[in-house]
Amino acid sequence: MTPQHHTPQLRHRATEILDRLRRHIELRCELDFTTPLELAVAAILAAQCTDKRVNTVTPALFKKYRTAHDYANAEPTELETLIQSTGFFRNKAKSIRALGAALLQHHNGELPRTLDALIKLPGIGRKTANLLLADAFGQPGLIIDTHQIRVNQRLGITQQTDPTKIEIELRDLLPPADWTDWSHALTLHGRYTCLARKPLCAQCPLTDLCPYFAAHPLRH
Ligand code: SF4
């Protein structure tokens, strides 16, 4: 798929958006982790939960379980109790145990380093696979979460609503070296400024680049 609207002007605007957000925001993953496995587990816990809450749960969790073997053999109730406050804890515990088992069975207990292999693992969708590539392995990753969808749309970067289609469009629009920063920049911008219900446009450095702002002048 070659998106037809990726004109030089749009590419230039995307570059300008990223430059400004780089100056405005400290770009980083807000989940706390020290190993790829910890990031994978934290990402599973972050479904329907804030990164902040996940970060309150993971210190004790990561102290008790350190390897894929530990997770694969975790006693279900003990694991569930430790992650309970992140919500949907039974399903999350099941995914984490299954992830540990799959890593042991197919990857010598280590996380693989390719998108194709990562998305085959239990509990790891495309978004988390890209997060792992970007933040655990230092490879380019386009992490399309709910903030990313909304902010890309408001900025007129995409009309798509499907995360995979947005990822494909962004792969064409941006050089791989910018994928990870773009992911963190737009997600953090969406989390703290371009809020879903009422974007804080008065604090935004992108107003002159934003079609949503131009179309909703009375709201700001
Ligand atoms: S101007 Fe408003 S709507 Fe546009 S990106 Fe900034 S905060 Fe979001």
For 177-206, what is each residue's pLDDT tens digit? 999 999 999 999 999 999 999 999 999 999
Q: Compute the distance between CA of residue 186 and CA of residue 143 in angstroms, rounded to an integer.
A: 10
State residue 137 phi and psi, 5-degree precision.
-115, 0
Residue where the block lists tokens 């309970």: 84
Q: Could you identify the atom of ligand 1 that is nearest to the CA of residue 207?
A: 1
The average confidence (pLDDT) of the chain is 95
The answer, yes or no, to whether any atom of ligand 1 lies below 6 A from the CB of 147, is no
Per-residue model confidence (pLDDT) at position 189: 98
Residue among 182, 213, 218, 220 to mutate when testing ligand 1 (max atoms within 8 A of CB): 213
CA of 173 to the centre of ligand 1 (A): 20
Residues 133/113, Cβ–Cβ less than 8 Å:
yes
The answer, yes or no, to whether any atom of ligand 1 lies below 6 A from the CB of 212, is yes
Fold topology of 8-27+142-214: Endonuclease Iii, domain 2 (1.10.1670)
127 catalytically annotated: yes
> What residue spans of the chain are helical by DSSP H?
8-24, 36-45, 51-64, 68-72, 76-83, 89-107, 115-118, 126-131, 146-154, 163-173, 176-192, 211-215
Give CATH 1.10.1670.10 domain extents, the chain.
Answer: 8-27+142-214
CA of 212 to the centre of ligand 1 (A): 7
The answer, yes or no, to whether any atom of ligand 1 lies below 6 A from the CB of 58, is no
Cα 39 versus chain centre, distance: 11
Question: Confidence class of residue 6 from pLDDT cuts 50, 70 and 90?
Answer: confident
Per-residue model confidence (pLDDT) at position 216: 86
The answer, yes or no, to whether any atom of ligand 1 lies below 6 A from the CB of 207, is yes
CATH number of 36-136: 1.10.340.30
198 catalytically annotated: no
Closest among 114, 121, 117, 105 to 41, alpha carbons compared: 121
Per-residue model confidence (pLDDT) at position 64: 98
Cα 211 versus chain centre, distance: 24
Closest residue by CA, ligand 1 atom 2? 201
pLDDT above 90 as % of the chain: 95
**CA dist 201 to 148, 151, 204, 209, Å?**
17, 12, 5, 12
Give CATH 1.10.340.30 domain extents, the chain.
Answer: 36-136
Amino acid at 62: F
Mean pLDDT score, 89-113: 98
Q: Could you identify the atom of ligand 1 that is nearest to the CA of residue 200?
A: 7
Question: Confidence class of residue 62 from pLDDT cuts 50, 70 and 90?
Answer: very high
Q: Which of 4-8, 24-28, 34-38, 159-163 has the lowest mean pLDDT?
A: 4-8
Q: Compute the distance between CA of residue 159 and CA of residue 169 in angstroms, rounded to an integer.
A: 10
pTM: 0.93
The answer, yes or no, to whether any atom of ligand 1 lies below 6 A from the CB of 204, is yes
Residue among 148, 151, 203, 209 to mutate when testing ligand 1 (max atoms within 8 A of CB): 151
| Catalytically annotated residue among 135, 145, 178, 181 | 145
The Cβ-side half-sphere exposure at 21, using a 13 Å CA radius, reads: 28
